[in-house]
């Protein structure tokens, strides 16, 4: 059953360096396409590194591999993904009249992807 | 600042040159102390560069691509500029967008083109610190340069940003480590606070880490404003913000004792619900603190010349981004004239995209519409946006192949010292060519006022 999480898309060092190697490189695509989950949530949901998870909200759905975040970087209930194509698929077009779509702290559901 | 070039050529090998005090345009720090070793058409060493800067310089090479693509087919510059002018002149509600990774000289021409064709000019600021731009108009900005931060700041708050990963030299060059005139012992003379929802790599560099609850930056800023005014808060503030009242008092006491404080805030503030109200609260906190001592607030800017885009659009139109020029005078209205909105609502009927890749980072409705309208794209790389363009120009890379001016995140203009020439034209040259064609046609066929 899907659980509600808060997703933070953001910048990482690896995203910045691999961006310069090219947006179609394996390193860049892996960096923007891997979801970080708090170790406690990984354990509770019996997830292991590389397991595919489905993340969705009323805007879109992405299916990505997951991995545990470093140490206590993420509190339980929070997810992180490098900002890019995948995270933007969960971003709506509405900017509430300010020009900026909700791009961080997105409410999303997460469930283990079938298969 | 030295600008000497030392030639180290040896017989039978490519000439080796060292470009001293070159400028890195990868991020808003715009570090201008790079020593680049250039061998032929490659940069082989980038002394003083951070990890991001090294990746920026060392991965740069001249790609073997056509000068332009028209509907995916190779074309020359002249033909492509003709077609670009046709597309932009035929549009009724054209959008000019991007501009944060090009020179200010090119930005100026892009604004002029938009004015000639009566379109909207918006920059990546609108999906970056645009909310802060709105907040500046609401409460103002108590501001300073990074030089002042380096020489004076003894209390530094990083809020909603992760400089350790996004601006790696900020700590060492400007805000934490450097020894300055009034902080002679460098880091020892400074107190650093990090406020964020995640305990990022930057937390290690801070004396205090305040893990604010998601979407509670506004409440936290107002709690600090209340304490700055000497108002009483009760302990329920911890339930609201995630930060105990005791910690808030400790931070506020430190802020009041500081001789020169600065809040450097990132997109954790502007991209989260509340947006411009979050920025406004932080700017107002900095303003309020000046009742006690000197405080400032500065946004941490991402792209190399996004600050230049704000400056150029501001001094050209009076407004920083999201400006409509179709009525014969500038109109500023974020939400109405910002790129994400005019694309997601399906309003723009053509686009001129310069140095940006909205097809890979805009919302899906915006991407879908952009893919459905004619577009002219200028990019050194074949980005997703360039792939879908009606006309895609291959251009040289600013800062590496092209000179000009960029603005550091504290609004200080910095000259570029390019490393080697590119066979491709610059954004400025292409835009001038398009502008010239547009004007020729407009003057040959004056628009009817009827």
Average pLDDT over residues A101-107: 94
HSE-up (13 A, CA, CB side) for residue B13: 8
Question: How high is the pLDDT of residue A93?
Answer: 87
> Among residues B23, B70, B37, B1, which one has the least CA distance to residue B394?
B70
Q: What pLDDT, in 10s, does the model give residues B13-65?
A: 778 999 999 999 999 999 999 999 999 899 999 999 999 999 999 999 998 99
Dump pLDDT digits (tens) for B66-86: 999 999 999 999 999 999 999
Q: Which of A86, A93, A107 to mutate to test the interface with B (most CBs of B within 10 A)?
A: A93
Cβ–Cβ gap B334/A97 under 8 Å = yes
Report the C-alpha gap between B390 and B353 in whole angstroms: 11
Contact (CB, 8 A) for A88 and A112? no
- Pick from B26, B165, B340: CB nearest A13: B165
Q: Is the pLDDT of residue B11 over 80?
A: no
- How far apart are alpha carbons B381 and A56 in whole angstroms? 31
Residue A108's Cα: distance from chain center in Å? 10
Flag if B200 and A75 touch (Cβ within 8 Å): no
Q: How many Å lie between the alpha carbon of B103 and the closest alpha carbon of chain A? A: 19
* Predicted local confidence at residue B341, as pLDDT: 97
* Statement: residue B10 has pLDDT above 80: no
Which secondary structure element, helix H or strand E, spans residue B331, and what is its range? strand B331-332
List CB contacts (< 8 A) between B199 and chain A.
71-74
pLDDT of residue B448: 57
- B38, B422 in Cβ contact below 8 A? no
Residue in chain A lying closest to B122 (CA): A99
Overall number of domains in chain A: 1
Contact A14, A31 (CB under 8 A): yes
Q: Averaged over B336-350, what is the pLDDT? A: 97
Residue B234, both tokens: 């009760």
B360 closest CB neighbour out of A12, A21, A84: A84
> Cα B402 from chain centroid?
18
- 3-state per-residue secondary structure call for B57-122: HHCCCCCCCCCEEECCEEECHHHHHHHHHHHHHHCCCEEEEECCCCCHHHHHHHHHHHHHHCCEEC
CATH class label, B68-128+304-444: alpha beta
pLDDT tens per residue across span B124-173? 999 999 999 999 999 999 999 999 999 999 999 999 999 999 999 999 99
Whether the per-residue pLDDT at B288 is higher than 80: the answer is yes
State the pTM of this model: 0.95
Work out the pLDDT band at B12, boundaries 50, 70, 90: low
Calpha distance B64→B230 (Å, rounded)? 64
Interatomic CA distance for residues B250 and B257, integer angstroms: 11
The rounded distance, in Å, linking the Cα atoms of B66 and B392 is: 10
Contacts of B82 (CB under 8 A, 6+ apart): B437
Residues 6+ apart with CB under 8 A from A110: A2, A3, A5, A37, A53, A54, A55, A79
**Beta-carbon contacts of residue B111 (< 8 Å; ≥ 6 apart):** B96, B121, B312, B313, B316, B317
Q: For B187, which DSSP code?
A: G
**Cα R_g (chain A), whole angstroms:** 14
Mean pLDDT computed over A47-59:
96
Q: Do B55 and A17 touch (CB under 8 A)?
A: yes
Chain B residues lying within 8 Å of A97, measured CB to CB? 334-336
pLDDT value at B9 more than 80: no
The CATH number for B131-299, chosen from 3.40.228.10, 2.60.40.10, 3.40.50.1370, 3.40.190.10, is 3.40.228.10
Q: What are B170-185's pLDDT values in tens digits?
A: 999 999 999 999 999 9
Mutate to test the interface with A, among B24, B53, B54, B55 (most CBs of A within 10 A): B55
Please give the pLDDT value at position B6: 47
Question: Are residues A15 and A114 in contact, defined by beta-carbon separation less than 8 angstroms?
Answer: no
Handedness of CA B245, B249, B251, B255 (dihedral sign): positive
pLDDT score for B399: 96
A11 neighbourhood in chain B, CB within 8 Å:
162, 165-166, 302
Across the A/B interface, how many CB contacts are shorter than 8 Å?
Answer: 151
Q: What angle (nearest 5°) sits at the alpha carbon of residue B222, between those of residues B219 and B223?
A: 85
- B1 pLDDT higher than 60: no
Q: Which of B171, B219, B216 is nearest to B197 (CA)?
A: B216
Res A109 pLDDT > 90? yes
Separation of alpha carbons A6 and A2, rounded Å: 13
DSSP state of B425: P
pLDDT band at A27 (very low <50, low <70, confident <90, very high): very high
> Which of B197, B302, B360 minimises the CB distance to A78?
B197
- Shortest distance between the Cα of A11 and any Cα of chain B, in A, equals 6
Domain, as residue range, for A68: 3-112
pLDDT > 90? residue B450? no
pLDDT, mean over chain A: 94
Average pLDDT value for chain B: 95
Domain coordinates in residue numbering, chain B:
5-58, 68-128+304-444, 131-299
Specify the DSSP element, H or E, that contains B313. helix B306-317
Name B407's bridge partners.
B413
Which residues of chain B lie closer than 8 angstroms to A29, CB-CB? Answer: none
Rounded-to-integer distance, Cα A89 and Cα B132, Å: 24
CA B185, CA B24: separation in Å to the nearest integer? Answer: 28
Min Cα–Cα distance to chain A from B273, Å = 6
| pLDDT tens digit sequence for B392-442 | 999 999 999 999 999 999 999 999 999 999 999 999 999 999 999 999 999
CB contact under 8 A, B334 and A98: yes
Q: What is the CATH number of the domain that holds A47?
A: 2.40.40.20
Cβ pair A75:B211 closer than 8 A: yes
pLDDT of amino acid B5 = 47
């Amino acid at each position: 059953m899907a659980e509600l999480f808060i997703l933070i898309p953001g910048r990482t060092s690896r995203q910045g360096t691999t961006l310069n190697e090219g947006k179609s490189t394996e390193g860049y695509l892996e960096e923007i396409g891997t979801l970080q989950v708090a170790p406690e949530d990984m354990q509770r949901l019996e997830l292991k590194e590389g397991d595919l998870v489905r993340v969705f909200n009323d805007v879109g759905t992405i299916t990505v591999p997951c991995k545990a975040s470093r140490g206590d970087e993420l509190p339980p209930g929070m997810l992180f993904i490098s900002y890019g194509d995948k995270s933007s698929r969960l971003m709506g077009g509405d900017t509430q009249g300010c020009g900026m779509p909700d791009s961080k702290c997105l409410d999303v559901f997460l469930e283990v992807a079938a298969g | 600042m030295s600008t000497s070039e030392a030639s180290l050529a040896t017989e039978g090998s490519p000439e080796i040159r060292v470009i001293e005090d070159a400028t890195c345009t990868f991020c808003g720090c715009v570090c201008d102390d790079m020593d680049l070793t250039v061998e032929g058409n490659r940069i082989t060493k980038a002394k003083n560069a951070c990890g991001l800067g090294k990746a920026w310089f060392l991965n740069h090479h001249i790609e073997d691509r056509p000068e332009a693509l028209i509907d995916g087919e190779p074309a020359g510059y002249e033909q492509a500029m003709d077609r670009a002018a046709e597309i932009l002149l035929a549009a009724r509600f054209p959008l000019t967008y991007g501009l944060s990774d090009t020179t200010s000289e090119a930005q100026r021409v892009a604004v002029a083109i938009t004015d000639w064709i009566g379109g909207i000019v918006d920059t990546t600021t609108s999906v970056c610190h645009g909310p802060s731009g709105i907040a500046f108009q609401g409460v103002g900005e108590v501001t300073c340069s990074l030089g002042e931060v380096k020489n004076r700041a003894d209390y530094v708050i990083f809020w909603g940003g992760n400089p350790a990963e996004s601006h790696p030299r900020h700590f060492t060059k400007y805000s934490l480590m450097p020894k300055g005139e009034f902080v002679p012992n460098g880091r020892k003379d400074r107190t650093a606070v990090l406020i964020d929802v995640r305990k990022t790599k930057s937390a290690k560099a801070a004396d205090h880490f305040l893990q604010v609850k998601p979407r509670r930056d506004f409440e936290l800023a107002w709690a600090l404003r209340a304490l700055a005014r000497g108002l009483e808060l009760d302990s329920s503030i911890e339930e609201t913000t995630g930060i105990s009242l005791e910690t808030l008092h400790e931070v506020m006491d430190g802020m009041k004792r500081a001789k020169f404080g600065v809040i450097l805030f990132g997109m954790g503030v502007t991209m989260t619900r509340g947006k411009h109200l979050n920025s406004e609260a932080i700017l107002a906190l900095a303003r309020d603190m000046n009742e006690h001592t000197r405080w400032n607030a500065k946004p941490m800017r991402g792209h190399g010349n996004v600050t230049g885009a704000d400056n150029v659009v501001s001094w050209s139109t009076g407004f920083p981004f999201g400006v409509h020029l179709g009525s014969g005078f500038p109109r500023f209205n974020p939400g109405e004239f910002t790129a994400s909105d005019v694309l997601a609502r399906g309003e723009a009927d053509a686009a001129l995209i310069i140095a940006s890749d909205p097809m890979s980072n805009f919302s899906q409705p915006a991407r879908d519409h952009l893919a459905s309208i004619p577009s002219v794209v200028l990019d050194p790389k074949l980005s997703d946006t360039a792939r879908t363009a009606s006309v895609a120009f291959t251009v040289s890379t600013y800062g590496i192949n092209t000179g000009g001016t960029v603005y550091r995140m504290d609004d200080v203009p910095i000259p570029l010292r390019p490393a080697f020439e590119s066979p491709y034209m610059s954004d400025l040259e292409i835009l001038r060519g398009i502008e010239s064609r547009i004007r020729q046609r407009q003057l040959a066929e004056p628009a009817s006022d009827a």
